[in-house]
Amino acid sequence: MVTPWKRRWEMGAGAGLADDDRFIRACIAAGMDVHYVSPRDASPPDVSVSGYHVHAFPNFYTATATWPTPVRRVLWPMLFAVLAGWRAHRVERRVRPVVVLGQTYVAAFVTYLVASLARVPSVVKLFGVEDLVRTDWPAWKYLYRNAESIAAFKLPVDAWIILNDGTRGDQAARRHGVHAERIHFLPNGVELSWSERVGHTTWLRQQLNIANDVPVVLYLARLEAWKRPEMFIRAASRVIQGGTSRAVFVIGGDGPERARLQDIVRELGLSESVRFAGPIPHERVPDAMAAASLFVATAERSNQSIAVCEALLCGVPVVAFDVGETRSVVRNGETGKLVEDGNVAQLGDVVATLLGSETERVALATGARQFASTHLTDWSIRMETELSVLRASQRRR
């Protein structure tokens, strides 16, 4: 496996993306060894299991992080091709893989090249298609932001695993020349047993010193600009200034936007009402959900994330911007409330209204749990489906 990520858990300490951890363990349980080629990380391996091996190459991402964006846009693909490609080739010569899998479009070229040299199938896994969904942009902007993704789709890769994060990844792949039979459009996974699990309602409150009778509105995501966590803070400010609720707004997660968000909270005088929980270990997510009256999602491409699905599964109504395929899981008036994209005032007003109506919240919570338990896919099924793609690609060779 070739990846641009230095951690399997994107925020460390078991917090963030669960997919990697599940996939590694599923491969090993199926009798495979997993050899991960990734940027060097000073931290200890965050997956500790026999059969999992990390092969690092120099972490140029960290070394050049402060360089101008246009320079990095040109330099990073070249450095990845050289450094990751050389390391992956060395690993391939030694372990003789049966398949080479790349994570994200960044790794597509190296994956195809190394698989070709090894004469084994190449598979590329996309966790979404990012800005490929933005067909409303002018042609020049679309090409500038998506040149690498479009180029990746032109490679004769044996199979594409594209996760359905609500950004219509299957359509994007076909639009850019990938034959439908090579596309495997899979749902994100969830732990369906969570629908029956009673979380520790006091865990999050104890972490942040929140009284038991104070409503909690939860936001949980990696703190990236495109996920627009600032809009969550602006909506919180509107609710608090309206004086209709004494709720505490909790931001779970970490990322490059955290320091700026903390500055905004201080500038708005919201330090008591908006709290930062930091990375929440995945095993503690049901406990965080158990304390929440509402869950809010503000991403600009889609709000059909794993965290949104987990909120529904735990019976927490979701208030989300209506973008991408969000409405396929956040069903307006059934599992949550949809808000016009980017309308912070409406977002705040809907949150305030729901905080003031326990009857409506309970009805939405019931609908959310029922929908999630019958429409979402358990991790075990998702992983078996993904492994079947690898097996099928081997048979075709």
Q: 53: pLDDT confidence band, cut at 50, 70 and 90?
A: very high
Helix, strand, coil percentages, rounded to 5, for the chain: 50, 15, 35
Which amino acid belongs to residue 57?
Answer: F
CB 166 within 8 A of CB 304: yes
Q: CATH no. for residue 206?
A: 3.40.50.2000
Statement: residue 15 has pLDDT above 90 = no
Same domain for 42 and 129: yes
- The domain total for the chain is 2
Statement: residue 10 has pLDDT above 70 = no
Statement: residue 76 has pLDDT above 90 = yes
Residue 308: strand, helix, or coil: helix
- The pLDDT tens digits for 194-208 are 988 877 889 999 999
How far apart, in whole angstroms, are the C-alpha atoms of residue 233 and residue 237? Answer: 6
Same domain for 151 and 200: no
**CA 105-110-116 angle, 5° bins:** 120
Sign of CA dihedral 83, 85, 88, 93: negative
Same domain for 329 and 234: yes
- The side-by-side arrangement of strands in the sheet containing 294-297 is 274-278, 248-252, 216-220, 294-297, 318-321, 336-339
Residue at which a domain ends, from 172, 187, 202: 187
How far apart, in whole angstroms, are the C-alpha atoms of residue 160 and residue 157? Answer: 7
- Domain range for 329: 193-375
Same domain for 371 and 251: yes
Give the mean pLDDT of 219-241: 96
Cβ partners under 8 Å of residue 331, min gap 6: 367, 371
Same domain for 311 and 198: yes
What was the pLDDT predicted at 165?
92
When mean pLDDT is compared across 135-139, 176-180, 338-342, 392-396, the lowest value belongs to 392-396
Encode 353-372: b = buried (16+ Cβ within 10 Å), e = exposed.
bbbeeeeebeebbebbbebb
**CA 221-224-225 angle, 5° bins:** 130
Same domain for 124 and 53: yes
Same domain for 169 and 197: no
Residue 220: strand, helix, or coil: strand
Residue 395 lies in a domain: no
Statement: residue 45 has pLDDT above 90 = no
CA distances from 109 to 4, 261, 397 (A): 12, 36, 19
Same domain for 205 and 249: yes
Residue 383 lies in a domain: no
Statement: residue 46 has pLDDT above 90 = no
- The pLDDT tens digits for 248-299 are 999 999 999 999 999 999 999 999 999 999 999 999 999 999 999 999 999 9
